[in-house]
Structure 1
Amino acid sequence: MEQRSTEEDDAAVETRGLTKRYRGGQLAVDALDLSVPRGSVFGFLGPNGSGKTTTIRMLMGLIEPTSGRARLLGEPMPRAARSVLPRVGALIEGPALYPFLTGRDNLLRYDAADPTADPRTRTARVAAALDRVGLAAAAGKRARAYSLGMKQRLGLAAALLQPRELLVLDEPTNGLDPQGMREIRSLVRELAEEGTTVFLSSHLLDEIEQVCTHAAVMAQGRLIAQGTVAELAAGSRGRLAITTPDPVDAVRVLKEHGVTDLVILDERVSGELPVPGPGSSPADAPLELADLNAALVRAGVRVRAFGAERASLEDAFVALTGEGFDVAG
């Protein structure tokens, strides 16, 4: 009998060595060890072709892994799909809708296809789901007349017809205007507060940073970092930023003290603070910001503002992957 660890039981999503190799030898996902804590809002990031969508398909039992294993809500996938998937809501690669049916009738069809759904409360359940995603007023419109953002909302409503322990969302704000994006972020927070674990794939790093508690970063099919959003951002150095009417003199002093990647923009100077490498001695400890400020003043540099900017998740992503943040792969 397979032994399960406490960590696996506490994880809403857990993979060990999950691998997918397609015919022709393409390795899409390479030995993925992922752990999504129950109750978290988990952001899943990666550049184009990093294996995110393939991973989600394996988690949901849509494709078989080449090797390794995956668990949803403590149960093995795809073996336990029939018992697990009714507890999981999903919106993957856009919703599949009947264009000639209204939004309401689409949801009624979805609900009727769920063997666990009570037909006596179907109408009320559909109305509540439409209201929750802001589509109550458009419920009588045919789906073919819906904008991309409205279709995305309708797909999310379908995922919310029943209470879910886990919600898997692939680019849930795709096609939404800024107001719609704010509403969906607010909805995700509400769901998390109600105890639903949300697994969210997005190419919008700002969205992940605003709404997620945890995140993972993939590149070239491999997991390269995972943890809380705060931990991932803290792993990237914030830049030093100085405002001074003497930017050229400031750059000279900062260079002498090991500050690199210096950029001058009008009266603003920014740069990367030196970080000691492995095996460094205590003498190589990072320079105190107060000492650096004092050095600038001693050199006659007039300092109007001085400090280290907080590192963002975008900084961490670029540092980890060496790529920008067009990560819809």
Structure 2
Amino acid sequence: MGEASATEPERRDGEATGDGVIVTRALTKRYRGGQLAVDGLQLTVPEGSVFGFLGPNGSGKTTTIRMLMGLIEPTSGTAHVLGRPMPRSARAVLPRVGALIEGPALYGFLSGRDNLLRYDAADPTADPRTRRARVAAALDRVGLTAAAGKKAKAYSLGMKQRLGLASALLQPRRLLVLDEPTNGLDPQGMREIRTLVRELASDGTTVFLSSHLLDEIEQVCTHAAVMARGRLIAQGPVSELAAGARGRLVVTTPDPADAARVLEEQGIADVVVAGERVTGEAPARDLAEVNAALVAAGVRVRGFGVERASLEDAFVALTGEGFDVAG
């Protein structure tokens, strides 16, 4: 009853919240000097999704997250989190949100365990009687039990990321916001974090995960949004985003130079030769005609087909440029 009455004024003020756990409308952030970091963002994050927020470094992802979490004020537009306007409702919203933004803030002289005890003690909703059990469970969930007694300043970057994630998992959360959660992790650690994200989603937690790693988004996310230069380029289910781009025609042959020449003569764009593998943009025309042209030219075709478009293919198709992770 209290929840309904609390949100009623927000619905009367014209800021439609939509059906998402996160909803933004024309959200904009312009810094001093005129730098436009986020430009008119229209974002909807479905409840129960693992939502990938994708874009090169500098595309506006972290600025957006900081606005969603009430850390900075938008220049214009609105942001709703869990149906409440931010930053106005931060006190009501943030206890139900776990977040790891721009790396964890840790006390280097304290152990990993003591850092989490401090985090938990700062939460007015946390029951002090079960604090140590919660901390132990969070450490175990991110694989830091064995290092719990080590001072945080001696942690590697990957271990610090794990500890930050553990701090976000001390309480059950309806929404988990992770900014580059696998930063600094080795391949095994990245796999473990992906598995953990899937487990959290299966438990009913909506996960909003920003990354500049296309492969990471494609492996773990159900939905995604693509950002470039502060603007939203596309959003939707990951499978649909990838389906919007053409796949790659792949020819395996001991005659790669001849195959490349024939493909170009057949109007195939972006032909690339790598050993006995020749690839190009999949054409809209009948592939049987392309294969027949290869055979007629004396090319020995050992393999011929189209690979499904990846999220990277979709990004290039949407933006007209490569995915520059240093951008």
CA displacement at 1:323 relative to structure 2: 4.2
| Separation of aligned partners in 2, 1:112 and 1:328 | 38
CA displacement at 1:64 relative to structure 2: 0.3
Q: 1:2 matched to which residue of 2? A: 13
Q: In the TM superposition, what whole-angstrom CA distance separates every residue of 1:206-244 from its partner, at most 9, and x where no partner exists?
A: 111111111111111110111111111112211111122
Q: 2:106 matched to which residue of 1? A: 97
Q: 2:132 matched to which residue of 1? A: 123
Q: Check the 8 A contact 2:174/2:204 in 1, yes or no.
A: yes
**Aligned residue runs from structure 1 range 88-237, under 5 A:** 88-237=97-246
Q: Please say if 1:306 is aligned against 2:304.
A: yes
| Separation of aligned partners in 2, 1:178 and 1:250 | 36
Cα distance change on mapping 1:244 and 1:222 into 2, 3 Å? same
Q: Check the 8 A contact 1:253/1:296 in 2, yes or no.
A: yes
Q: Check the 8 A contact 2:15/2:78 in 1, yes or no.
A: no
| Separation of aligned partners in 2, 1:136 and 1:264 | 48
Identity %: 81
Of stretches 292-301 and 90-99 in structure 1, the one that deviates more from structure 2 is 292-301
* Residue aligned with 1:198, SS: strand
Q: 1:72 matched to which residue of 2? A: 81
| Separation of aligned partners in 2, 1:257 and 1:105 | 66
Q: 1:280 matched to which residue of 2? A: none
Q: Check the 8 A contact 2:60/2:227 in 1, yes or no.
A: yes
| Separation of aligned partners in 2, 1:89 and 1:251 | 51
| Separation of aligned partners in 1, 2:322 and 2:273 | 22
Instruction: Specify the code of the residue in structure 2 equivalent to 1:257.
Output: Q
Of stretches 291-300 and 178-187 in structure 1, the one that deviates more from structure 2 is 291-300
Q: 2:92 matched to which residue of 1? A: 83
Q: In the TM superposition, what whole-angstrom CA distance separates every residue of 1:70-126 from its partner, at most 9, and x where no partner exists?
A: 010111111111011000000001111111111111111111111111111111111
* Residue aligned with 2:74, SS: coil
Q: Check the 8 A contact 2:25/2:43 in 1, yes or no.
A: yes
* Structure 1: tracts of 5 or more residues without a match: 275-285
Q: 1:281 matched to which residue of 2? A: none
Q: Check the 8 A contact 1:133/1:184 in 2, yes or no.
A: yes
Q: In the TM superposition, what whole-angstrom CA distance separates every residue of 1:240-278 from its partner, at most 9, and x where no partner exists?
A: 11122343443344334321222333433221234xxxx
Q: Check the 8 A contact 1:203/1:328 in 2, yes or no.
A: no
Q: 2:38 matched to which residue of 1? A: 29
* Residue aligned with 2:182, SS: coil
* Residue aligned with 2:124, SS: coil
* Residue aligned with 2:77, SS: strand
* Residue aligned with 1:242, SS: strand
| Separation of aligned partners in 2, 1:263 and 1:53 | 35
Q: CA RMSD of the aligned region, Å?
A: 1.7
Q: 1:19 matched to which residue of 2? A: 28
Of stretches 314-323 and 128-137 in structure 1, the one that deviates more from structure 2 is 314-323
Equivalent of 1:292, from 290, 293, 296? 290
CA displacement at 1:167 relative to structure 2: 0.4
Q: 1:245 matched to which residue of 2? A: 254
Instruction: Specify the code of the residue in structure 2 equivalent to 1:297.
Output: V
| Separation of aligned partners in 2, 1:326 and 1:142 | 36
| Separation of aligned partners in 1, 2:257 and 2:185 | 45
Q: Normalising by structure 1, report the TM-score.
A: 0.91
Q: Check the 8 A contact 2:81/2:93 in 1, yes or no.
A: yes
Q: In the TM superposition, what whole-angstrom CA distance separates every residue of 1:266-323 from its partner, at most 9, and x where no partner exists?
A: 433221234xxxxxxxxxxx21122322333344433211001111112222333344
Equivalent of 2:70, from 54, 61, 76? 61
| Separation of aligned partners in 2, 1:319 and 1:103 | 44
Q: Check the 8 A contact 1:12/1:74 in 2, yes or no.
A: yes
Q: Check the 8 A contact 1:209/1:229 in 2, yes or no.
A: yes
Q: Check the 8 A contact 2:57/2:212 in 1, yes or no.
A: no
| Separation of aligned partners in 2, 1:171 and 1:248 | 41
* Residue aligned with 1:260, SS: coil
| Separation of aligned partners in 1, 2:326 and 2:242 | 20
CA displacement at 1:328 relative to structure 2: 6.5
| Separation of aligned partners in 2, 1:246 and 1:99 | 59
